[in-house]
Chains A and B, each alone.
Chain A
Amino acid sequence: MNEASQRSPEQILRAFLARHVPAALESEEDFFARGYVSSLFALQLVVFVEKQFGITVEPEDLSLDNFRSIGAMERFVARKRGVAP
């Protein structure tokens, strides 16, 4: 079993963000608006969700609305995998 099937997407996302964001995050807290992350972080999130969840981020998915909070990324990953969040 791989890591992704043992832990929920939320737990995986929280663990990743904990290494990059210097504060505990509410599920809908916008860590870009809070200024917690550098300009390269949006790209890093794309690389991370593709690798971790086996999805492909398409050009039309490139919106901060899909990446700005843990909740937004959970919903995005669920939609890409075709499952309910």
Chain B
Amino acid sequence: MSEALDRLRLALREGVAPRVGAYDEQGVLPSEVVRTIAEVGGFGHTLPVAIGGQGLTARELGHAHALVGATCASLRAVLTVHAMTSAAIARWGSSAQRSEWLPSLARGERTAAFALTEPGAGADPSALSTTAVRASSGLVLNGQKSWVTNGQRADVFLVFARLEAEPIAVLLERSAPGLTITPIAPPLGLRAGMHAELRLESCVVPESALIGRPGAGLSWVAQHALDLGRLLVAWGCVGLTGACLRLAQDHARARRSGEGVLFDHALVRQRLARMASGLEGSRLICEEASRLRDEGHPHAIGQTLLAKYHASLAASEASASAVQLLGAAGTASLADAQRHFRDAQIMEIIEGPTPVLESELASHLSIWSEP
């Protein structure tokens, strides 16, 4: 474990951190960054060693995503969607699909994306309206997908549609006829996430591209991927929150104010204490979610919801505090604090917006309420 993390830490420090502000400003994650992370195994963290992956436990995987999240949330988002689709293939794909895709996905030679959201179906995937129809050539897909992170670069998309009424998941290759990929202009946060919109116009995939059987697309394939996605977003938030605390603390100790430094002020100390409390709460909930997941415990799913909920709120609060404490310097172009602040806003929306998570969490209360 420590070796994979050490390699990742070094790659992030030398190959990503020096230009992370430019990636954000320009809204582009250069292909060299993808190669740098692929070389240290970052695209195969979730996949088994036997097929060229790193075989990390959920705990190790979490720590890796916290490292990435502390440096570049856009890269973290790309790795997360790649991991989600890889995991769906590994768990529910056929043996032919696994041998076709997993070795190159593990090495990062090809990358994946997750195409669930539609213009009319965001937080509620059951509103899905992309259609699939059986024809002699295979399945014919029609519809539109939005906010597909890594969509500008991905070689393969896990696309969700309805075959008659039944939700399905299919692997769609970038080269498929009828697929048009349009880059989305860099949004508020995760600007270098290479987001794209997909238009599927009589786009044909063979029946063998189905992941799982018809009917399983949302309840099992999408939810399995989203469950992993929530864990990785949560751990990414732990990294981001830790980065904000370090920025704020360093600034408060160094910045002269009256006779002393900012750190001497009770209100500044209160903010820093709240950031530390939010960070440690998030970290412990994430650790427990990872532990339950490694055990195959059914409570892992509910604990992961709590992890994403808590960690994204803590990241939002801590990043806002960091901007305020750093003052003008925190708001400057290319400053880390303002980037973390914008990224944290998106963390509260992706893989389940806060109000949706609250509603879902209320279905899992027995995990925490039972004596």
Contact = CB atoms under 8 A, between A and B. Distances in A.
Interface of A: 16, 19-20, 37-44, 46-48, 50-51, 59-60, 62-64
Nearest to A49: B298
B216 A59 contact: yes
A47 B219 contact: no
Contacts of B366: 19-20
Could you say which interface size class chain B belongs to?
20 to 34
A60 B215 CA distance: 11
Contacts of A16: 298
Interface stretch (B66-74, B220-228, B307-315): B220-228
A40 B227 CA distance: 9
A44 B212 contact: no
A20 B125 CA distance: 22
Contacts of A38: 360, 363
A44 B298 contact: yes
B333 interface: no
A42 B360 contact: no
B216 A62 contact: yes
B223 A39 contact: yes
B154 interface: no
B94 A43 contact: no
Nearest to B227: A43
Nearest to B215: A63
Nearest to B292: A47
A46 B360 contact: no
Interface in B209-256: 211-213, 215-216, 218-221, 223-224, 227
Contacts of A40: 223, 227, 301, 305, 360, 363
B79 interface: no
Interface of B: 92-94, 125-126, 211-213, 215-216, 218-221, 223-224, 227, 295-298, 300-302, 305, 360, 363, 366, 370
A18 B346 CA distance: 36
Main SS of chain B's interface residues? helix
A64 B93 CA distance: 18
Given A38-B360, A38-B363, A40-B360, A47 B298 contact: yes
25 contacts: A16-B298, A19-B370, A20-B363, A37-B363, A39-B223, A39-B360, A40-B223, A40-B227, A40-B360, A42-B219, A42-B223, A43-B223, A46-B220, A47-B296, A47-B300, A48-B298, A59-B92, A59-B94, A59-B211, A59-B213, A59-B216, A60-B213, A62-B220, A63-B216, A64-B219
A4 B213 CA distance: 29
A72 to B, nearest CB: 14
B363 A47 contact: no
Contacts of B300: 47
B69 to A, nearest CB: 24
Contact of B93 (A19, A20, A59): A59
Contacts of B370: 19
User: Which of A41, A47, A50: most chain B Cβ within 10 A?
Assistant: A47
A38 B226 CA distance: 15
Contact of B301 (A47, A59, A60, A62): A47
A19 B93 CA distance: 31
B296 A50 contact: yes
